[in-house]
A and B are shown apart, each in its own frame.
Chain A
Amino acid sequence: MIESLDPRVNRAAIELDNHIEPLSPLDQWETYEVFHQKKRGDQHMHVGIVHAANPEMALVFAKEQFGRRGLSANIWVVNTKHVFASTYEDADIFETTSEKIYREAGGYKVMDKINQYKKSQKA
């Protein structure tokens, strides 16, 4: 029996050579991806995962793990197996996006033309 400085350990009456069966796969259940919203109006942000046996339990753990400080308004949990994601290997599909300035407000510069036009009208 352990003689510990910790009264909780002594109360538990633990043998030092308490060999146990190893944990089998899924002993710690599946994982849920956690999305946390700080305050109403904000986007939910991915903050990490929790292990849980079901969505309700995942919410409890997510609140404990990611909502125990600061502001929290709302939490989503999504079973990891239900997330369908692009791959980093295919990141080249985004490569030309920044070149497509015709999609952006900054791609349209009209002041030069307007000024030139005004000048030509005065002449």
Chain B
Amino acid sequence: MYGNAYIDPNEVNKTHSVLADEDPKLLAEFEARIERGEKIEPKDWMPKEYRKQLIRMIEQHGHSEIIGALPEGTWITRAPGFKRKLALMAKVQDEVGHAQLLYSAAETLGKSREAMINDLITGKSKYSNVFNYPAFTWADACIIAWLIDAGAIINQVANAKGSYGPYCRALDRICTEESFHLKYGHDNVVTLATGTPVQRKMVQEALNRWWPPIMHFFGPSDKISSHTEILMKWKVKMATNDDMRQQFLNMYVPKIWDLGLTVPDANLKKNETTGKWEYTEPDWDEFKRVINGGGPCNAERLAVRRNAEERGRWVREALKAGQTAYVVPFA
């Protein structure tokens, strides 16, 4: 589950100066390969900026899968019924498995798994902002499984057509599994929305809570996030934040309305002339505040992660063979 790569707004577009010390011939060959639709593989020459941005993005994606398992896992012990408990455990296991696939892809670019985990637990690396919000009720977990996963699929299907081979291969596998998550989430939301008045109220309140994070999910508006040109050219980023948000609204708002649920944004409507959705501009100050540690669950998420790492440490030590040496994976 993942939205869009978060790029620190303070990191201004330094791309031109970054490219200045790249070999122009190698750079031209690299860009021509991408232009032809060929994939870049780990041992290929690549610009430093390409490597850096991909590591940042894939690593953030991996962290999001791990941390995303926490709000959903909140409801495993109290899932309504054994079948839903089994399904939720399977989904959470998938998310953790996705993190393994993504970390592996990032490792091929030269950052070790230990370094990524260290950057996560010290708060240096980011993860998808939505997971800094709590899942108050079972209905919150259902809304996450349906709509957050829906958003993630839009992002991941686009990125699966990107230029970096290992990331694309990981995403192909991930997208297959996410389609189960989406159906599972939809099934749960439909059950609540077609149920008793209490169930309907519960799912509507969860939707109201999750709508602002969902609108934040794809990242800041293109108007204030301008440094994506080179990343789109290199097929690191495959669609702009606003384009993905539009695609999400187009696919899912009608499905929400179908259930007689309301979206808590009085300005939300499709402009039939432009074909675009109009909505209240999300609160990007809130987004920045939460991503920089000020959300309701940031501290808990990282403390839980550190706790898991620390309590597993003796097991990992005990399992270590006498002779080990790290080799960067091939693909």
Contacts and interface: CB of A to CB of B under 8 A. Distances in A.
Contacts of B173: 47-48
Interface centre among A15, A53, A87 (most CB of B within 10 A): A53
Interface residues of A, number: 47
Contact of B304 (A2, A30, A50, A81): A2
Contacts of B303: 2, 14-18
B307 A12 contact: yes
Given A53-B319, A87-B43, A31 B114 contact: no
B31 interface: no
A30 B104 contact: no
Interface stretch (B10-18, B69-77, B257-265): B69-77
Interface in B310-331: 310, 313, 316, 319-321, 324-331
A5 B331 CA distance: 40
Contact of B112 (A4, A25, A33): A25
B285 interface: no
Contact of A80 (B78, B97, B114, B330): B330
A93 interface: no
A23 B104 contact: no
A85 B41 CA distance: 13
B113 A51 contact: yes
A47 B327 CA distance: 18
Contacts of B53: none
Nearest to A30: B324
B306 interface: yes
Contacts of B97: 64-65, 68
A70 B93 CA distance: 16
Contact of B306 (A9, A19, A46, A68): A19
A6 to B, nearest CB: 4
Interface in A64-113: 64-65, 68-69, 79-81, 83, 85, 87-89
B199 interface: no
B177 interface: yes
A79 B328 CA distance: 11
A8 B77 CA distance: 8
Interface string B91-123: 001000100110010010000111001100110
A6 B69 CA distance: 12
Given A17-B303, A69-B177, 17 more contacts: A2-B300, A9-B300, A16-B303, A20-B310, A22-B118, A23-B309, A25-B114, A28-B112, A28-B114, A29-B316, A33-B330, A47-B173, A53-B324, A54-B321, A80-B329, A81-B327, A88-B43
16 contacts: A2-B303, A5-B74, A5-B134, A9-B300, A9-B304, A20-B306, A25-B114, A26-B320, A31-B326, A48-B169, A53-B316, A53-B320, A65-B101, A80-B327, A80-B329, A83-B330
